[in-house]
Amino acid sequence: MPPVNDVLQAPELAAYRRVLDTPFGSRLLAEVMNATRHELASGSGVIPRADLTARIAEALAQRLSAALQPSLRRVINASGVVLHTNLGRAPLPDSAIDHLREVSTGYSNLEFGLDDGVRGKRDLHIERLLRQLLDCEAAIVVNNNAAAVLLVLNTLGEGGEVIASRGEQVEIGGSFRIPEVMAKSNARLREVGATNRTRIKDYEKAIDANTRLLLRVHPSNFRMTGFTERPTLDEFVALGRRKNIPTFEDLGSGSMLDLKPMGISDEPVVSDSVRAGVDVICFSGDKLLGGPQAGIIAGKKLYVEKIRQNPLFRALRVDKLTISVLESVLLSYLTGTLDEIPIWRMLRASEGELKQRAESLAKRIGRAALVLQLTSLVGGGSAPETYLPSWGVALKIDGLSDAELEKRLRHSEPPVIVRIEEGRVVLDLRTISADDEDELIAVLR
């Protein structure tokens, strides 16, 4: 074996001198030396020492290079799923990242009133905007919508019963289930109605001295069709008022706008629930809002204040990074500059525009590309039945199977995530940002 010092002086390791001085670097060095020693012991023949030194240095450089690359990396999403949960849901606006950099690389007034010099609350930055956008009385922000549901149920339902429809006991991806969150919140679930039909009378009959809360959940990722029934929002609110029991709605995707013009007809609009008079509503920050992962709780001041007082809130609150990005995204809504928000650019892209981009991309790729019509998905548990008409490019490369091509694209730099449709590798232009096209071409070449 060559002396350790010879290995450390090898030119292959010139870029890693600093790392090799750390305990992590020493450990990797020892591992590679040991592995080589074992190899030599079980092999035969003679290797010149200089060659062995170079071999060890090269193996170590490779290990270091792989280990020092961030594991969380940018990818090109060519899948056509706009809110792809496994690919990080909503891409964030540049303006939001500018704001994040500005307020987070130094100090900020996160919990400090600049007017009076007194300690403030971090949620006020967001509440101010949500009150304008939703016309609600109060709002707070937690880590995600799952946390929001847990916190509301625990604050308003603990020790008592929460009435909810049997048809709304949903499971959202990643093992969030309404009945299980309910159990963890220490509220008892009182299921009413049948799987397909629940009437307002079913809720009313279940109300007794133990009832703390009436719950309504947007079914998000599934749809019931056929012989179905669900009380209207107005009936739900009226019952709560009449019986003096607070109402709570988990809206899931939380769209700030009516999506019908984009062909998405069954996603509720947050302000509709506020206007109808629901006492507390919650929704995600990184679904149809197009912002960072967060759970937003909005509604009547009386209840939002109670929720804020819950010690669990301290455990579920968000940091300045989330607040700065969320504030900037909400400001884009307030100023009506929706095109700053990437998911709105993607959702609103017209078929004609996507077709044109697919044609020009195919021309640049050449013989391997075929332009074709596609359907994109909203994703993120939203609008499961909606297929947005889109255009893309199918790839065929001689001597490469679709599975092999998909894998090679996934292993490129940056990785390109495609979908395989009818035995073809397909790139959907809806989720490929125009800024990514040059890089995509380079990867394909």
Ligand X SMILES: *Cc1c(COP(=O)(O)O)cnc(C)c1O
Contact 178, 220 (CB under 8 A): no
CB of 316 to ligand X, least distance (A): 11
The nearest distance, CB 381 to ligand X, in angstroms, is 5
- Residue 240 vs 381, nearer CB to ligand X: 381
What does the alpha-carbon distance between residue 272 and residue 257 come to, in Å, rounded to a whole number?
10
Closest by CA to 122, choosing from 130, 131, 112, is 112
CB atoms within 10 A of CB 244: 6
Alpha helices in 113-268 (DSSP H): 124-134, 145-157, 178-184, 200-206, 233-243
Task: Tell which one of 100, 140, 156, 172 touches ligand X (CB under 6 A).
Answer: 172
Do the strands 388-395 and 369-379 form a parallel or antiparallel pair, or are they unpaired? antiparallel
Instruction: Look up residue 62 and give its amino acid.
Output: Q
252: left (phi over 0), alpha (psi -120 to 50) or beta: left
Judged by DSSP in three states, 45 sits in coil
Rank residues 384 and 415 by Cβ distance to ligand X and give the closer one: 384
Closest CA to 387 of 85, 82, 172: 82
Q: Candidates 202, 250, 267, 340: give the one binding ligand X (CB under 6 A).
A: 250
**Which residue's beta carbon is nearest to the bound ligand X?**
252
- Kindly tell me which residue out of 100, 151, 217, 362 binds ligand X, with binding defined by CB under 6 A: 217
Identify whether the C-beta of residue 187 lies closer than 8 Å to the C-beta of residue 152: no
Q: Is 185 in the site for ligand X (CB under 6 A)?
A: no
Q: Nearest approach, Cβ of 149 to ligand X (angstroms)?
A: 6
- Of 295 and 299, which has the nearer Cβ to ligand X? 295
CB closer to ligand X out of 157 and 381? 381
Q: Is 247 a residue that touches ligand X (CB under 6 A)?
A: no
Binding to ligand X by residue 218, rule CB under 6 A? yes
Q: Which residue in this structure is represented by tokens 């305990």?
A: 23
The region of 139-147, 350-358, 371-379, 406-414 touching ligand X under the rule CB under 6 A is 139-147
84 lies in the binding site for ligand X (CB under 6 A): no
Which residue, 217 or 362, has its beta carbon nearer to ligand X? Answer: 217
Q: What is the DSSP string of 174-219?
A: TTEEHHHHHHHTT-EEEEES-SSB--HHHHHHH--TTEEEEEEE--
Crossing angle, helix 94-104 and helix 320-334, to 10 degrees? 140
The stretch near ligand X (CB under 6 A) out of 131-139, 144-152, 325-333, 337-345 is 144-152
* Window contacting ligand X (CB under 6 A); options: 65-73, 249-257, 258-266, 299-307: 249-257
Measured from the CB of residue 134, what is the shortest distance to ligand X in angstroms?
18
Q: Is 146 in the site for ligand X (CB under 6 A)?
A: yes
Nearer to ligand X, 176 or 387 (CB): 176
Give the three-class secondary structure for 407: helix
User: Going by DSSP bridges, is the β-strand pair 176-177/188-192 parallel, antiparallel, or unpaired?
Assistant: unpaired
- Residue 386 found at the interface with ligand X (CB under 6 A): no
Does 149 contact ligand X by CB under 6 A? yes
* Residue placing its CB nearer to ligand X in the complex, 164 or 341: 164
Q: Of 285-324, which residues contact ligand X (CB under 6 A)?
A: 295
In this chain, which of 53, 77, 145, 390 binds ligand X, going by CB under 6 A?
Answer: 145
Residue 215 exposed, middle or buried by CB count within 10 Å (0-12, 13-18, 19+): buried
Q: Closer to ligand X by CB, 149 or 405: give it.
A: 149
255 is a site residue for ligand X (CB under 6 A):
no
**Which residues does residue 76 pair with via DSSP β-bridges, in sequence order?**
416
Using rule CB under 6 A, residue 167 touches ligand X: no
- Of 120 and 384, the one with the shorter C-beta distance to ligand X is 384
Site size with ligand X, rule: CB under 6 A: 15
Residue 85 tokens, joined: 């949960």
How far is 49 from 312, CA to CA, in rounded Å? 63
- Least separation in angstroms between residue 229's CB and ligand X is 19
* Residues of the shown chain interacting with ligand X in the complex, contacts defined by CB under 6 A: 144-146, 149, 172, 176, 217-218, 220, 250, 252-253, 284, 295, 381
